[in-house]
Amino acid sequence: MIRELANGNRVGRATGSDPQKSYGQRRRRTSAVCVLALLLCPAIALRVAEAATRLSYTVKWASTGNGTINSTLRLTSQLVALRRTAPVGPFGLIARARGDVRRLQTVLESFGYYDGKITIAINGADLYSAGLGQVLNAVPKGKAAHVKITPVLGPLFHIGRIDIVGALPAGMRRALGLASGAPAVASDVLAAGARLQRRLQDTGYAFAKVAKPIAYEEPAQHLLNLTFRVHSGPQARIGSIHIQGLRHVRESLARRQLPLHTGELYDTASVEKARQALLQLGLFSSVTVRRGAPDLRGRVPLTFQVKESKRFAVGVSAAYSSDLGGSSGVHWSDRNVLGAGQRLSVSATAIDLGGSVSTGVGYDARVGYAIPDFHRRDQTLGFSVTALRQTLEAYTQNGEIARTTLTRRLSGDWTASAGTAYEHEQIVQQDHDYDYNLLSMPLSAHFNSTDLSSPLLDPTHGFKISLRAAPTLSSGAAGQQWFVILQGSIATYFDLHRLFPRDPPGRTVLAARLLAGIAEGASQFSLPPDQRFYAGGGGTVRGYAYQSIGPQFSDGYPEGGTSMQAVNLELRQRIGAKWGAVLFADGGGVAAGSQSVYRVGVGMGALYYTSIGPIRLDLAVPTRHLRNGGSFQVYIGLGQAF
């Protein structure tokens, strides 16, 4: 039964400072201390004796026949939770077990078993038998007491009559989502009231309240009748909108982010969406919303209280794989250059530090500038300049790249971008020097329904889809030519809790990804080497060295191809609060003309979860050894593989 609890009355005490009474008060106070000490002595002695007779114990459970209920009972039991961390004596064990009876009874009721019963026996004796204390005191030192918990479900109660006290708008009752005859599960009943209140507030009833339901039990019929008390109040509209806490951020920028306007029907979902929109600017560490009292016109004023993030940020990065070696970098950013969210970022990273396929040290240095809300909300204009050097077995590249990108958020899940890029590069492959000038117009679209605020967090559901097309005009070793690079990827995540409810949500996840790419309009060797496709390494097929899968020159070094495909499959398991493990298998190949090479790698990994994402260590082995590929590969980085 769901009950409402009332607070008890408090008894106050007045104090005075009459000097004539101080001596008498001191005598009475001294006497009181003596009496208190005499009263406490037996209790202290009992505690000392209890501490000297710590009693270990085991816990055995009888099954209810329902795996979910069994798991919840075990997670709720203090006998289980405190068995190793908080040892007790015989009488402490009895008290702990008696507390579990009511605690576990509540669990049964929460699942709808209001006539259920919890029986606990210790060393075969009933928990409430008079001589249980002596029985436990007689347990030999070094021996354990045996606790057996027997839950009996009894009949499942169902929802009977559902009454609503108070006026409801037409059709709003359906928002409860409850029906007579459904199992009387407490969480479902409580969620129904919260759902009704949220629905009222989402349709303009800003001050609607739905009290916790009162349940009336009919034991003979195994029914639970429910009464919901509802106060809808008047329908309201949004009044004045205020933003407080701005220091360096322009108010005009913040207001443009708000999808709310004075005079619109009040909607809690829209208010929350507005709060999230301010956070997505990346300029505020926190955003809270205060709702004021309605004005004379019944409009509800809103105040968004913001706290600006630190304007400047400095960070470091590091990663390692046995094929590419280590990388280490530093980055600096100014999040709010001109007060309207313009972002300047500078980064420098040393790459190719000692890997099996690197032939020297490389670098990746970038400067970027982004202008948010460019001509319209949810649209960002970005500029970047990059200097890059890669020293790989496949080729050595020195390049300078300038990019301009316009990115627009189309919806909560979709974003699209278009831009231009110019690259000048010098490439050495097979002792031949090539000089290229590339002008491209990259177009891309991205879909993400994982509902995560950071790409470093663990996705447990949804899809990530990425599509990219880059029409390119190349001028260089093969003359002038047009070609198009097409690439796509799709990743999905399935929480196995949906198949195995006993497994907590988000603990065991199956992740899969498919990658594909093709170059149209150019042959294998008319493409610049860095524009060709390669497979192998942490981004495609783990276990094989970076770029090692595909057609090869006569000396065994990679040629690169005109198409590529790869598939990745992972089983991710959380272990405790901080650790995780993963098993994975990758397959992929590269083709050029009639040549096609496909390989498979398998491996396992360990993860340690931090506040910014998991640190992941993977060990992968190839199913077929390649030249200079090694018998295994190691990968260390921050975040999941995909």
In this predicted structure, the answer to whether residue 477 has a pLDDT above a threshold of 70 is: no
Q: Which residues fall within 8 angstroms of residue 113, CB to CB, at 6 or more apart? A: 153, 154, 155, 156, 157
pLDDT attached to residue 460? 94
pLDDT of residue 1: 41
pLDDT of residue 142: 84
CATH architecture of 237-308: Roll (3.10)
* Cβ atoms 264, 273 nearer than 8 A: no
Has residue 71 got a pLDDT over 80?
yes
253 has pLDDT over 80 = yes
Cβ count near 274 (within 10 Å): 20
What would you report as the CA-atom Rg of the chain, rounded to the nearest whole angstrom?
A: 34
pLDDT of residue 594: 87
> Helix (H) and strand (E) counts for the chain?
8, 28
pLDDT, the chain, mean: 89
Task: Describe the strand order of the beta sheet including 117-122 as a list of residue ranges.
Answer: 57-61, 145-152, 117-122, 125-126
The pLDDT tens digits of the residues spanning 176-186 come to: 999 999 999 99
Query: Residue 21: pLDDT above 60?
Result: no
Could you tell me the end-to-end alpha-carbon distance of the chain, in angstroms, rounded to an integer?
47
pLDDT of residue 49: 46
Query: What pLDDT shows up at residue 456?
Result: 80
The CATH class of the 405-638 domain is mainly beta
Contact assessment for residue 90 and residue 55, using Cβ atoms and an 8 Å cutoff: yes
Give the CATH number of domain 158-231.
3.10.20.310
| Residue 465 clears pLDDT 50, i.e. is over it | yes
Question: Would you state the pLDDT for residue 53?
Answer: 61
8 A C-beta contact, residue 275 and residue 267: no
pLDDT for 193 beyond 60: yes
Summarize the confidence of residues 29-42 as an average pLDDT.
Answer: 44
What was the pLDDT predicted at 626?
61
Phi, psi angle pair for 42, to nearest 5°: -60, -40
- pLDDT, tens digit, for every residue of 532-544? 999 999 999 999 9
Are residues 122 and 132 in contact, defined by beta-carbon separation less than 8 angstroms?
Answer: yes
- Cβ–Cβ under 8 Å, residues 146 and 122: yes
Closest-CA residue to 57 (of 79, 81, 73, 74): 79
3 state SS for 71-109: HHHHHHCHHHHCCCCCCECHHHHHHHHHHHHHHHHHHHH
- For residue 296, which phi and psi values (nearest 5 degrees)? -65, -25
What integer pLDDT is reported at residue 6 of this predicted model? Answer: 32
Residue 40 has pLDDT above 60, yes or no: no
Q: What tens digit of pLDDT does each residue of 119-177 get? A: 999 999 999 998 898 889 989 988 999 999 999 999 999 999 999 999 999 889 999 99
